């Protein structure tokens, strides 16, 4: 197990009312798609995907959802938090003409991926979707990169109502891509998997989220049926050959007690 490191929060950026990005001044050396286990040393410990990672700092973008994240939202710059990691598989850096599709607060990891793909010389199209305009995150960051960027909301407040999957469908019909990356709510990603079945030659990778306790493959809480893949080790990024076999995907997940909870 990687050693735990405790350090002060360097900066907190309010993305909206319920989403914040926490920055730490520390060389992490993580790859796009990997995650850390973050703790306040009192309330608990949870996994969070890395949304930014440079030579001297890294950031995780967090949505306030429960007791633990509520405790994090009470923190201020200078307060101490503890982490271990980075853990898990990462996105591959491949493809020349690449489509990235994000949904809601799961979109930020695609920002880090976008920066690495651009360094590798890829041409990128990024789709960012959310329920409403205020729930779209990282819009300015994506807009400042050298890529094609499209936004959409369920509410239609940007001129068109729909999901990021709707835009992806049009883009796939009108353009040739050699790689697709997806990060979003599971039902949104299942819709993307169904869409991508129409393009059997196209490679893709998804970033999954499951309940995790240990992050090192021991407890088994994050295994996914029927392959028994441990998403903290073999995931959280999975490629097409694995995704098409997952019967659990978009149907159910397991809670802290290991009991199935259907979507």
Parts of the chain belonging to CATH 3.40.50.80: 97-262
Which pLDDT score is estimated for 1?
A: 58
Is the domain spanning 97-262 CATH 3.40.50.10420? The answer is: no
Specify whether the CB–CB gap between 108 and 169 falls below 8 A: no
Cβ–Cβ contacts within 10 Å for residue 171, how many? 17
How far is residue 171's CA from residue 121's CA, in Å, rounded to a whole number?
Answer: 20
- Is 8 within 8 Å of 78 (Cβ atoms)? yes
Report, at the CATH architecture level, how domain 5-87 is classified.
Beta Barrel (2.40)
Q: What is the pTM of this model?
A: 0.94
Res. 220 pLDDT band, cuts 50 70 90: confident
Range of weakest confidence among 83-87, 216-220, 223-227:
216-220
Helix axes 186-196, 164-174, angle to 10 degrees: 20
Pick from 115, 165, 120: nearest CA to 138: 115
CB atoms within 10 A of CB 67: 8
Q: In this model, does residue 199 exceed pLDDT 90? A: yes
Domain with CATH 2.40.30.10 in the chain: 5-87
Asked if the peptide bond before residue 88 counts as cis, ω within 30 degrees of 0, the response is: no
**Mean pLDDT for the stretch of residues 218-238:** 91
For residues 124 and 142, what is the distance between their CA atoms, to the nearest angstrom?
Answer: 11
- Please write the tens of the pLDDT for every residue from 109-165: 999 999 999 999 999 999 999 988 888 999 999 999 999 999 988 877 777 788 999
Using the predicted structure, report yes or no on whether residue 12 has a pLDDT greater than 80: yes
């Amino acid at each position: 197990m990687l050693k735990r490191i405790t350090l002060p929060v360097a900066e907190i950026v309010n993305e909206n009312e319920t989403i914040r990005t926490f920055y730490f001044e520390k060389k992490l050396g993580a790859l796009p798609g990997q995650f850390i286990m973050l703790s306040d040393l009192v309330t608990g410990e949870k996994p969070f995907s890395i949304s930014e990672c440079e030579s001297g700092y890294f950031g995780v973008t967090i949505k306030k959802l429960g007791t633990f994240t509520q405790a994090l939202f009470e923190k201020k710059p200078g307060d101490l938090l503890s982490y271990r990691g980075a853990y898990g598989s990462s996105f591959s850096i491949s493809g020349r003409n690449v489509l990235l599709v994000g949904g809601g607060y799961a979109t930020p990891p695609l920002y880090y991926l976008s920066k690495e793909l651009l360094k590798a010389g890829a041409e990128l199209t990024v789709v960012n979707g959310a329920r409403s305009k205020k729930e779209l995150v990282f819009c300015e960051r994506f807009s400042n990169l050298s890529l094609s960027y499209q936004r959409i909301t369920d509410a239609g407040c940007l001129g068109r109502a729909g999901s990021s999957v709707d835009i992806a469908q049009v883009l796939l019909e009108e353009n040739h891509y050699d790689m697709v990356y997806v990060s979003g709510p599971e039902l949104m990603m299942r819709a993307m998997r169904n869409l991508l079945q129409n393009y059997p030659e196209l490679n893709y990778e998804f970033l999954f989220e499951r309940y995790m306790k240990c992050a090192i493959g021991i407890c088994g809480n994050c295994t996914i049926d029927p392959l028994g893949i441990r998403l903290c080790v073999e995931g959280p990024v999975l490629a097409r050959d694995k995704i098409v076999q997952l019967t659990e995907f978009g149907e159910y997940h397991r809670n802290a007690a290991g009991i199935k909870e259907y979507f």
